[in-house]
């Protein structure tokens, strides 16, 4: 790290940038952002941190003094990657990254000791933290890579050096920062630029065309629902939207009942199975592992509120592709009324208003009422804020179905908490 040690030698086990989730024995990395993490060093030590980085100067215990704590974390991540196995999978895309990451980890775990990105730790802080958290002797590592600006993916790929790269889909998420749809394609495609001829590129068959495929020397395995080398087709579903998917592949066929919800998971399952098999897992073992995965929080959760409402909580994030999938999932619920509480899809750039209106029109065509939070131009019934949205859904009859979907910045997860805890609108 180019730093200077202050205090006695200690052993650290992993690293954290957040005192709220820090585990005893970890290295605390204070990040300077909207809040200066240096202010939380005493709290980190109280929580059991073995040591900490600092660009200010030591305040006792064991510290490593560096010029820039974020750059030092990146250097540590590079060191950690050098100690890991070659079986590293990196996943990116405009939608589905976290779910595919979870499914791939499940598929690999049937044969290999596997370590994967926690939640959506997919940026310049989260990826090195994930690498640092990998236990000794791990046999497979699954990383989620996100991008907001040009060059983000290439830098993360240089850090994690994957043998398998997965592109789930290419859409318009973060198009405002990446230079429009063409910029999104360039950025996501950079995942496979550095894969060698011994690697595998697992690509969405519809959205990764010749312009993407020509960028890699790796063996290409495509996936999809109606086309691709590995295909996932929904052949049934239960009352809670968990699909049974038939997987057809060059290695054989089989059916899997998923724990994650929604028909759109068929393509995600196909991507995960393809990845696991290319990494050395038998097809049957991969199918069983994918079936066991529950998925991450705030993504297509389906539960009943104390009021009797059935809530499809997909509030983690939103872009046109994921909103469309969520609306189509809601349309499958047998309910006296179906209401979509929709907030802004952020960072879409030019055409943002049209994208919102298209989703509003789609909802209407599916017989779904829309509550549009915070002025998002979906049409439907406006709700100035979350309190007003709660009022509008509070009086719905039991067994009605409500979808919560918006970009993370809208905070619809707070509305989900209110519904789950039975909070009554004032």
| DSSP assignment string, 164-176 | EEEE-----TTHH
Q: Within a domain: residue 193? A: yes
Nearest 5 degrees, angle CA 143-CA 198-CA 151? 45
Helix (H) or strand (E) holding 361: helix 352-365
The candidate with the shortest Cα–Cα distance to 402, out of 260, 426, 94, 418, is: 418
Question: Are residue 197 and residue 337 in the same domain, yes or no?
Answer: no
Q: Within a domain: residue 78? A: no
Q: Within a domain: residue 63? A: yes
Give me the pLDDT at residue 179, please.
84
Task: Select from 245, 266, 291 the last residue of a domain.
Answer: 291
Question: Are residue 204 and residue 185 in the same domain, yes or no?
Answer: yes
Question: Are residue 138 and residue 271 in the same domain, yes or no?
Answer: yes
Question: Are residue 333 and residue 359 in the same domain, yes or no?
Answer: yes
Digit-by-digit pLDDT tens for the chain (426 residues) are 999 999 999 999 999 999 999 999 999 999 999 999 999 999 999 999 999 999 998 999 999 999 999 999 999 999 999 999 999 999 999 999 999 999 999 999 999 999 999 988 999 999 999 999 999 999 999 999 999 999 999 999 999 999 999 999 997 766 787 888 888 899 999 999 999 999 999 999 999 999 999 999 999 999 999 999 999 999 999 999 999 999 999 999 999 999 999 999 999 999 999 999 999 999 999 999 999 999 889 999 999 999 999 999 999 999 999 999 999 999 999 999 999 999 999 999 889 999 999 999 999 999 999 999 999 999 999 999 999 999 999 889 999 999 999 999 999 999 999 999 998 776
DSSP β-bridge partners for residue 142: 89, 116
Question: Are residue 124 and residue 197 in the same domain, yes or no?
Answer: yes
Supply 276's token pair.
């696991």
Residue 163, exposed/middle/buried by CB under 10 A (0-12, 13-18, 19+)? buried
Give me the pLDDT at residue 426, please.
64
The candidate with the shortest Cα–Cα distance to 241, out of 320, 169, 295, is: 295
Q: Within a domain: residue 425? A: no
Task: Select from 291, 313, 348 the last residue of a domain.
Answer: 291
Please state the φ and ψ torsions of residue 68, each to the nearest 5 degrees: -145, 120
Question: How many domains, in total, are found in the chain?
Answer: 3
Residues in the chain: 426
- Per-residue pLDDT tens digits for 152-200: 999 999 999 999 999 999 977 667 878 888 888 999 999 999 999 999 9
Question: Are residue 285 and residue 330 in the same domain, yes or no?
Answer: no
Question: Are residue 150 and residue 252 in the same domain, yes or no?
Answer: yes
Q: Within a domain: residue 79? A: no
Question: Are residue 189 and residue 251 in the same domain, yes or no?
Answer: yes
Give me the pLDDT at residue 424, please.
79
Question: Are residue 28 and residue 102 in the same domain, yes or no?
Answer: no
Share of the chain above pLDDT 90, in %: 92
Give me the pLDDT at residue 53, please.
98
Q: Within a domain: residue 239? A: yes
Q: How far apart are CA 136 and CA 255, in angstroms?
A: 34
Domain ranges, residue 44: 4-69
- What does the mean pLDDT of the chain come to? 96
The candidate with the shortest Cα–Cα distance to 274, out of 74, 104, 129, 72, is: 104
DSSP line for 370-393 = EEEETT-S--SEEESSHHHHHHHH
Question: Are residue 34 and residue 151 in the same domain, yes or no?
Answer: no
Task: Select from 291, 310, 332 the last residue of a domain.
Answer: 291
Question: Are residue 186 and residue 328 in the same domain, yes or no?
Answer: no
Helix (H) or strand (E) holding 366: none
Q: What's the CATH code of the domain at 49?
A: 3.40.1390.10
Give me the pLDDT at residue 88, please.
98
DSSP line for 208-227 = S-HHHHTT--SEEEEEESSS
Q: What's the CATH code of the domain at 335?
A: 3.90.190.20
Nearest 5 degrees, angle CA 145-CA 146-CA 150? 115
Q: Within a domain: residue 101? A: yes
Q: How many CA atoms lie within 13 A of 116 on its CB side?
A: 25
Question: Are residue 89 and residue 139 in the same domain, yes or no?
Answer: yes
């Amino acid at each position: 790290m180019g730093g200077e040690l202050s205090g006695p030698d200690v052993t650290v086990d992993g690293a954290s940038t957040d005192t709220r989730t820090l585990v005893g024995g970890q290295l605390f990395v204070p990040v300077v952002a909207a809040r200066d993490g240096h202010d939380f060093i005493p709290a980190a030590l109280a929580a059991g941190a073995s040591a900490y980085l600092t660009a200010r100067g030591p305040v006792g215990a064991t510290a490593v003094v560096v010029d820039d704590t974020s750059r030092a974390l990146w250097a540590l991540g590079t060191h950690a990657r050098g100690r890991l196995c070659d079986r590293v999978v990196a996943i990116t895309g405009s939608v589905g990254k976290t779910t595919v990451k979870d499914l791939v980890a499940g598929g690999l775990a049937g044969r290999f000791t596997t370590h994967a990105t926690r939640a959506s730790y997919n940026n310049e802080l989260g990826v090195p933290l994930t690498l640092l958290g990998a236990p000794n002797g791990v046999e497979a590592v699954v990383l989620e890579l996100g991008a907001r600006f040009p060059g983000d993916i290439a830098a993360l790929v240089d850090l994690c050096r994957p043998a398998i790269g997965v592109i789930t889909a290419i859409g318009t998420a973060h198009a405002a920062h990446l230079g429009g749809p063409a910029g999104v394609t360039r950025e996501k495609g950079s995942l496979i630029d550095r894969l060698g001829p011994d690697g595998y590129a697992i690509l969405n068959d519809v959205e990764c065309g010749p312009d993407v495929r020509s960028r890699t020397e790796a063996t290409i395995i495509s996936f999809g629902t109606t086309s691709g080398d590995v295909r996932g087709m929904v052949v049934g579903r239960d009352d809670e939207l968990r699909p049974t998917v038939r997987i057809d592949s060059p290695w054989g066929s089989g059916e899997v009942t998923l724990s994650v919800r929604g028909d759109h998971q068929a393509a995600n399952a196909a991507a995960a199975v393809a990845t696991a098999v290319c990494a050395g897992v038998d097809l049957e073992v991969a199918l069983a592992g994918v079936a066991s995965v529950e998925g991450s929080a705030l993504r297509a959760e389906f539960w009943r509120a104390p009021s009797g409402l059935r809530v499809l909580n997909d509030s983690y994030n939103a872009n046109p592709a994921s909103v469309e999938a969520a609306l189509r999932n809601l349309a499958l619920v047998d309910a006296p009324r179906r209401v979509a509480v929709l907030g802004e899809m952020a960072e879409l750039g030019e055409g943002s208003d049209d994208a919102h209106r298209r989703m509003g029109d789609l909802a209407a065509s599916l017989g779904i009422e829309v509550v549009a939070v915070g002025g998002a131009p979906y049409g439907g019934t406006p709700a100035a804020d979350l309190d007003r949205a709660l009022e509008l859904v509070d009086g719905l009859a039991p067994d009605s179905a409500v979808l919560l979907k918006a970009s993370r910045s809208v905070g619809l997860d707070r509305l989900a908490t209110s519904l789950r805890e039975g909070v009554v609108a004032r």
